[in-house]
Structure 1
Amino acid sequence: MSMPIGAIPVLPLKNTVLYPGITQTLRVGRDKSLKAVDAAMLKDNWIVTLAQRHPDKPIENPDELYHWGTLAKIESIKGTHEQGYFVTLRGYHRMKVNSFKTDTEIYEAHTERVDDTTDIDPSTEGALLTSLRQISIEVLQLVPGNTEQAQELVLAIEDVGLLSYLAAANIEIGLDERQHLLEMTSIKDRVMHLLTLMNQQKDNLQVRQDIRQKLGTKLGQTQREHILREQLKTIREELGEGDETSAVEDYSQKIKDAKMPKEANDLALQQLKKLESSGQQSPEHQMIRSHLDLMVSLPWSKASDKKDFNLDEAESILHADHYGLDKIKKRILQHLAVLKLKKEKRGSILLFIGPPGVGKTSLGQSIARALGKKYQRISLGGVRDESEIRGHRRTYIGSLPGRIIAAVKKAGENDAVFLLDEIDKMSRSFSGDPASAMLEVLDPEQNTTFTDHYLDTAFDLSNIFFIATANSLEGIPLPLLDRMEVIDLSGYTIAEKFHIAKTHLIPKQIKEHGLTPDQIEISDEALFKTISHYTREAGVRELQRKIAEMARFASEKILRGEAKVVVELLRLEEILGPERYQNEVADVVATPGVVTGLAWTPVGGDILFIETALVPGKGEMIVTGQLGDVMKESAQIAKSLVKARLQTLAPAFDFSKFDIHLHVPSGGIPKDGPSAGITLLTSLASLISRRVVNPKLAMTGEISLRGKVMPVGGIKEKVIAAHRAGINEVIMSDRNEKDLKDVPEEVRSQMKIHLVQHINQVLTIALGIDLSDWSDELLYHPKDHDANLPSAMSN
């Protein structure tokens, strides 16, 4: 490679020295240095590097530079003249400056090349090379980090002079020492001096390593975590994830404030560690955050501020919110009294059973208000998936906690009042049985450790006041029903509906329709007729809708100029249309074979008519009206009992010449249940004897083949329905007498109740036939035909 001729541009170096055979990248920013690089590019990229004698001072004249340097060639330049260069230089020869040229904007120098002197034989050179390699490897092994490539480079170099320059460029020595090594022309002297310096470097690195090891052992876990956290914070800031550290600290404080039980606290801390180690782009990052959000927001130890309540105040609230229901209110107050006396809140769970609109849900709200607790309503109607109660496992996409834990989070208190609405409407499917999942929620012995699949740790539900509602017991599994105390809310009487409308419904609808009490008035007669002729229900929802119609009617009239609207009896048809319900009993013509029966339905009691007729035939029975198996069997029993008494009822009647057609109107509605036995019997007896039954006489009860009248359920609803329909007499089993205590006094006082034990009494009351002397012995006596009977019967 040809040497440059003449003056060569000079590049001053601060705090470093460039050696021959070494490639180094330098930042050039000073004006003269930038111009020197530009000038070198015009001279085939040759430049001389000279170290400053005083790096902290600006260069005023060439004497402030060492006169020994290195001839280098510029291999690459990055950057601009305005912002500075990053210059990669490769050193070629040691140069000595003979003179400086100072008449230009830069320093230029006339130099001569100074090569190493050969003052060693090959064996000495080999020994020096081996020693220098060994000490270099030992130093590299003590340097922190991966130095394998550097060690391989050292082992590959065979020139002791080049290796000495490489070692000098990479050990920690001062600028003067570096310059001294450059100016040493004897390879032997330079290597020997370098070995001394590198031994010192080795000892220094060994001490540092020992200190690091000792500090590493002495540093406590907290300090180590702090250092690692700071490093992690720096890394995340570089990655644009700086907010994550503050989020972790925020969660850590929230976990402390939540005061979780040990099991839950350990799980939260475990999730927090996972959050720290996962990046924001990790698929499970948001899942962990969602789980932690739920855990820190649950009221593990937060209860309501109102620790006690006044029983008299609770009673006043119940009376103010609900008219009637005295027995129900008494039972609720007894339950509240037990809660007040007990230190542990675990106890029975109330289940309100009754038709729609009787106030089950609003009773739950009143209880919450009486206790001063938060109120949460959980609708269970139509729930078919167990995970709706227990939650989904977090491994699933879109997983959520169950409705119970979600309601606890929303309430923000661990002793709220929860209303489990429509608990009888849950159903089983391939996704599991939610009713089975409710067992743990409602069992006082188990709900202290209720585990939601999403939450994945136990939560104590024992302080929550659970109230369930249902329309009937049929849809509730027995194990679940066993964990609740049933409180029956049957329908209201006409008088109770009247007071509810006056006290609650009318003021509410007036307010909701933007009216004032001075703008609308509903007369008592119109209200009574609305209840009896426009609604037919156990509750008051339909009545509320009719009152809303009146309010809308009044709103229109007032906007058209009327000052006040009075809803009177004569105006009802204009507002509500034609009457929907007539007095059914009054319309029934007394006909043989037609008898009024009583039925229970999930929406309250109702009346039904059993009709029978004779048609030519062979003694068979035709049953229509969508009757179930129980009623069909009752009809067969009734036929047998009537045939047994045929001699008294109609001696001349021949069953073999007629078929009996039995029909229950409203054939589109399925009807079944053990309560129509005596009604079917009376209808057949009335038809056969051609005696009419008073339409205002109703009956309910089941029959046995021996003629016994057996008790049935739903007495309160049936009697109230009979009273509502205009019936004034009811026949039932004497064993149902205890159920009459639940019937309001105003209803009982207006009705005559016949309590019977046997069907003979029923037929005597209904048909006026005296069967008091009738014997229940077999009408067919085997003693007259012993020869034709099997031996077992004859004995």
Structure 2
Amino acid sequence: MVNIEQYPMIPLRDLVVFPYMIVPVFVGRPKSISAVKVAEDTDRKIFLSLQKDSKIDKPKFEDINQVGVVAEILQVLKLPDNTIKILVEGVKRGKVINFIDDEETVFVEIEELEDIITTDEHLHNPLKETLLKTFEEYIKVSKKVPAEVYETLKDISSLNKITYLIASNLQIRLNDLQTVLEIDSVVERAEKLIELLQTEIEIAKIDERIKHRVKAQMSKAQREYYLNEQIKAIQKELGREDDLKADIEEIEAKINELEMPEEVKEKAARELRKLKIMPPMSAETTVVRNYLDWLVNLPWGVYTEDKIDIKKAEEILDRDHYGLEKVKERILEFLAVRKVSPDIKGPIICFVGPPGVGKTSLAKSIAEALGRNFVRISLGGVRDEAEIRGHRRTYIGALPGKLIQSMRKAKSMNPVFLLDEIDKLGSDFRGDPSSALLEALDPEQNSSFMDHYLEVEFDLSKVFFITTANTTETIPSALLDRMEVIYISGYTEKEKFNIAKKFLIPKQLNEHKIDAEKVKITDSAINELIWYYTREAGVRNLEREIAALVRKGVKRLVSEENIKRVVISSKNIEKYLGIRKYRIEEVEEDYEVGVATGLAWTPYGGEILQTEVAIFEGNGKMAITGQIGEVMQESAQAALTVVKSRAGKYQIPDYRFKEFDMHIHVPEGAVPKDGPSAGITIATAIMSALTDNPVNCRVAMTGEITLRGKVFPVGGIKEKVLAAHRAKLKDVILPAENNKDLTEIPADVKRDIRFHLVKAIDEVFEIVFKKN
């Protein structure tokens, strides 16, 4: 059965396209341009056929060769002169059986031509070897085809494919190439190619002998003139001369239009003059063109107008973020100052907090509130200074640094620029990128930032830089000194609940294109997710679990016809997410000997840790287990010394220290623990074990201890208190100097907890030990 298909057609003046051949085609005639557009709107297939006479501008059916190639359009590029350059790949041969010429486009109906492939290996293999050997000789003699082409062909087993690829690389008369295209038999096509190759080899040898004779007679000036004219002719034939000329004109126009500083304009003009006199094929031409391209595409003199409306800014922050009141207040203060004094050199803000608390989205909200463009780069893992400052142009593949690359994307000189994960910068033998950032982030220096690639000063003084980090410990001190740190400690369960209900669930339902009435996640299910399926300071994992619930709900709606609505509650959540991943640490006993309830900070929020101490007959040794870090081990040593110094006061006999060993253990031994906040907890547990006096385990505590028994302040108070609240503890002991941190505690939590502020360890003992 004959396969007839219809395609838009482009008649070619000076090119024969073969199957498997990838080649650029310049399209200028209106009907041909229309054919490209039709192909783009359909299946990107187009029919290409050689004209019999290249001078005919509007060819008819009789003016084209009936055999051509169906090609796929890979790329379309519009040129400045309203013509089009397309990149096509030949797919299959076809024969025109009907020619349809309407007012705008030429269409053809074609019959697909099958290649007749022999199965006789005795004929196939020798023919393939002869063809490849002849083609190899042609490459060596003519020097018109790269040697790599032959290496590629050696690995191809199909003789049919080899014939097409060789034909596509031959630079011979178009009529001969058309003849090769029209041959159906692969064997006959191979034989014809061998004949053409041998002819070209003989011609090339004769031409080489003539060139040698002429070369001997030419003077140096004549030779240079000849070569330059030859290059021009080649460029003109390929159409590249026009491309380069158009590029130079476009660059020159941009240099004149842009509000560049005088120094930059002079540099650009010098490089442009150099480009104009360079040979188009020179390697340095590409380097200069790329440099000028970067220079003229930076947003010199382009500024967006700040539209600061404090009320609207507050609405945007409240719309995108729940809670974070102090952070929002600081941002609004900054915007208010910027409104009054637009030219003030403001601080570099650094948001520090655990993953998923909204640091990046806060920066986006600030950009929206200011009406500025937003651009972001991640500094995580950046170890090479050149990634910040750029490479010098002498290096192969040189590029500007990330700052200049992002300024090009920003399309203005005053964007909001987010430097994400600044605490994860590295450094090695290639330099220290954090030192390179000092110049960019220092308001006194960044008006003349120098990128190694650009080699001209670039003004970053109008950029509003925001950085984010998970911790300040790994940020170099010189860099940290230039930033104002705003801590985002994390969300309470109540805040997470409201974020999930007001933001995350509607967002996931919208992304999954599902109505809220069809998949409903109840309040009890949200609480279950927060308590038992996530353990984090932010809400990133909470969003993932909500997305999982929505997906599973949609699956039920689609797969079960009788289900019209899915309701997910705490009673059936395990059916969707499996068994609970975490448990809430609860204190089971009221009073125990040798046990004290401590509070710990983790990157995922607060935890309660019941520290245990056991004593047994021995010789006064102390063992500490539970993956305790060096700081915590020192706290344990200090706690033991404090208890020993109070042995008389609390009637502890000396032999209890000399004839008994002590084992201190912090549960969850697989989890590493460290930090200066367990002193009073360990001291309390030791005192209880030595005196056999039970400790009130429902009193949580945190604080560091000195050898004199003084209680020093610690960090992470908000997270620790929230952990105690989660465990339903009503009493919390804190160092007196941490009184200032109680303002951070949510009001509803403060109502449920009694805070005991202590200055010395004896006050702790007074509160926690059972009164006899």
TM over 0.5: yes
Q: In 1, Cα distance between the equivalents of 2:245 and 2:547? A: 58
Change (3 A) 1:608 1:279: farther
Q: In 2, Cα distance between the equivalents of 1:275 and 1:451? A: 23
Change (3 A) 1:438 1:726: farther
Match of 1:742 in 2: 744
Q: In 1, Cα distance between the equivalents of 2:306 and 2:656? A: 77
> Which amino acid in structure 2 is aligned with residue 757 of structure 1?
K
Q: In 2, Cα distance between the equivalents of 1:548 and 1:496? A: 19
In the alignment, structure 1 residue 676 sits paired with structure 2 residue 678: yes
Contact map agreement 1:698 1:727 (CA 8 A) in 2: yes
Match of 1:657 in 2: 659
In the alignment, structure 1 residue 531 sits paired with structure 2 residue 541: no
Q: In 2, Cα distance between the equivalents of 1:255 and 1:233? A: 30
Match of 2:609 in 1: 608
Match of 2:462 in 1: 463
TM (normalized to structure 2)? 0.67
Contact map agreement 2:360 2:468 (CA 8 A) in 1: yes
Equivalent residues in 2 for 1:309-708 (5 A)?
309-559=308-558, 560-561=560-561, 562-587=563-588, 590-652=591-653, 654-708=656-710
Q: In 1, Cα distance between the equivalents of 2:640 and 2:374? A: 55
Q: In 1, Cα distance between the equivalents of 2:638 and 2:287? A: 66
Q: In 2, Cα distance between the equivalents of 1:583 and 1:690? A: 29
Contact map agreement 1:472 1:602 (CA 8 A) in 2: no
Residues 4-59 of structure 1: per-residue CA shift (max 9 Å, x gap): xxxxxxxxxxxxxxxxxxxxxxxxxxxxxxxxxxxxxxxxxxxxxxxxxxxxxxxx
> Which amino acid in structure 2 is aligned with residue 749 of structure 1?
R
Task: Give the SS at the match of 1:599.
Answer: strand
Contact map agreement 1:510 1:551 (CA 8 A) in 2: yes
Change (3 A) 1:266 1:233: farther
Residues 118-148 of structure 1: per-residue CA shift (max 9 Å, x gap): xxxxxxxxxxxxxxxxxxxxxxxxxxxxxxx
**Which shifted more, 236-245 or 408-417?**
236-245
Displacement of 1:626 in angstroms is 2.5
Q: In 1, Cα distance between the equivalents of 2:426 and 2:765? A: 44
Q: In 1, Cα distance between the equivalents of 2:473 and 2:650? A: 40
Displacement of 1:615 in angstroms is 3.0
> Which amino acid in structure 2 is aligned with residue 713 of structure 1?
G
Match of 1:278 in 2: 278
Residues 526-549 of structure 1: per-residue CA shift (max 9 Å, x gap): 211221122221111121122112
Residues 568-607 of structure 1: per-residue CA shift (max 9 Å, x gap): 2211111121122223124568532222222223343333
- What count of residue pairs does the alignment treat as equivalent? 539
Task: Give the SS at the match of 1:295.
Answer: helix
Residues 40-94 of structure 1: per-residue CA shift (max 9 Å, x gap): xxxxxxxxxxxxxxxxxxxxxxxxxxxxxxxxxxxxxxxxxxxxxxxxxxxxxxx
Match of 1:753 in 2: 755
Change (3 A) 1:625 1:571: same
Task: Give the SS at the match of 1:764.
Answer: helix
Contact map agreement 2:599 2:724 (CA 8 A) in 1: yes
Equivalent residues in 2 for 1:708-727 (5 A)?
708-727=710-729
Match of 2:296 in 1: 296
In the alignment, structure 1 residue 733 sits paired with structure 2 residue 732: no
Contact map agreement 2:643 2:683 (CA 8 A) in 1: yes
Change (3 A) 1:763 1:411: same
Q: In 1, Cα distance between the equivalents of 2:591 and 2:502? A: 40
Displacement of 1:715 in angstroms is 1.4
Task: Give the SS at the match of 2:610.
Answer: strand
Q: In 2, Cα distance between the equivalents of 1:523 and 1:268? A: 63
Change (3 A) 1:678 1:233: farther
Q: In 1, Cα distance between the equivalents of 2:516 and 2:624? A: 55
Contact map agreement 2:590 2:696 (CA 8 A) in 1: no
Q: In 1, Cα distance between the equivalents of 2:404 and 2:496? A: 38
Match of 1:57 in 2: none
Q: In 1, Cα distance between the equivalents of 2:456 and 2:294? A: 12
Equivalent residues in 2 for 1:66-81 (5 A)?
none
Displacement of 1:721 in angstroms is 2.8
Task: Give the SS at the match of 1:646.
Answer: coil
> Which amino acid in structure 2 is aligned with residue 566 of structure 1?
V
Task: Give the SS at the match of 1:749.
Answer: helix
Change (3 A) 1:317 1:633: same
TM (normalized to structure 1)? 0.65
> Which amino acid in structure 2 is aligned with residue 735 of structure 1?
E
Task: Give the SS at the match of 1:566.
Answer: strand
Displacement of 1:738 in angstroms is 0.5
> Which amino acid in structure 2 is aligned with residue 266 of structure 1?
E
Contact map agreement 2:351 2:359 (CA 8 A) in 1: yes
Match of 1:29 in 2: none
Contact map agreement 1:650 1:688 (CA 8 A) in 2: no
Residues 88-115 of structure 1: per-residue CA shift (max 9 Å, x gap): xxxxxxxxxxxxxxxxxxxxxxxxxxxx
Change (3 A) 1:650 1:509: farther
Q: In 1, Cα distance between the equivalents of 2:308 and 2:233? A: 54
Displacement of 1:662 in angstroms is 1.2
Identical-pair percentage: 50
Change (3 A) 1:696 1:515: farther
Contact map agreement 1:622 1:662 (CA 8 A) in 2: yes
Q: In 1, Cα distance between the equivalents of 2:230 and 2:748? A: 82
Contact map agreement 2:535 2:604 (CA 8 A) in 1: no
Contact map agreement 1:233 1:242 (CA 8 A) in 2: no
Contact map agreement 2:359 2:468 (CA 8 A) in 1: yes
Displacement of 1:239 in angstroms is 5.8
Please, which runs of 5 or more residues in structure 1 have no aligned partner? 1-148, 150-231, 771-795
> Which amino acid in structure 2 is aligned with residue 289 of structure 1?
R
Q: In 2, Cα distance between the equivalents of 1:238 and 1:525? A: 76
Equivalent residues in 2 for 1:118-267 (5 A)?
236=232, 240=236, 242-243=241-242, 244-267=244-267
> Which amino acid in structure 1 is aligned with residue 386 of structure 2?
S
Displacement of 1:692 in angstroms is 2.9
Residues 278-332 of structure 1: per-residue CA shift (max 9 Å, x gap): 212222211111111111011110012x333211111111011111111110000
Q: In 1, Cα distance between the equivalents of 2:622 and 2:511? A: 56
Task: Give the SS at the match of 2:528.
Answer: helix
Contact map agreement 2:652 2:691 (CA 8 A) in 1: no
CA RMSD of aligned residues (A): 2.1
Task: Give the SS at the match of 1:479.
Answer: helix
Change (3 A) 1:236 1:252: farther
Q: In 1, Cα distance between the equivalents of 2:508 and 2:688? A: 49
Contact map agreement 1:260 1:301 (CA 8 A) in 2: yes
Q: In 2, Cα distance between the equivalents of 1:743 and 1:362? A: 24
Residues 627-658 of structure 1: per-residue CA shift (max 9 Å, x gap): 22221111111111111222343534621111
Q: In 2, Cα distance between the equivalents of 1:754 and 1:334? A: 35
Task: Give the SS at the match of 2:554.
Answer: helix
> Which amino acid in structure 2 is aligned with residue 253 of structure 1?
A
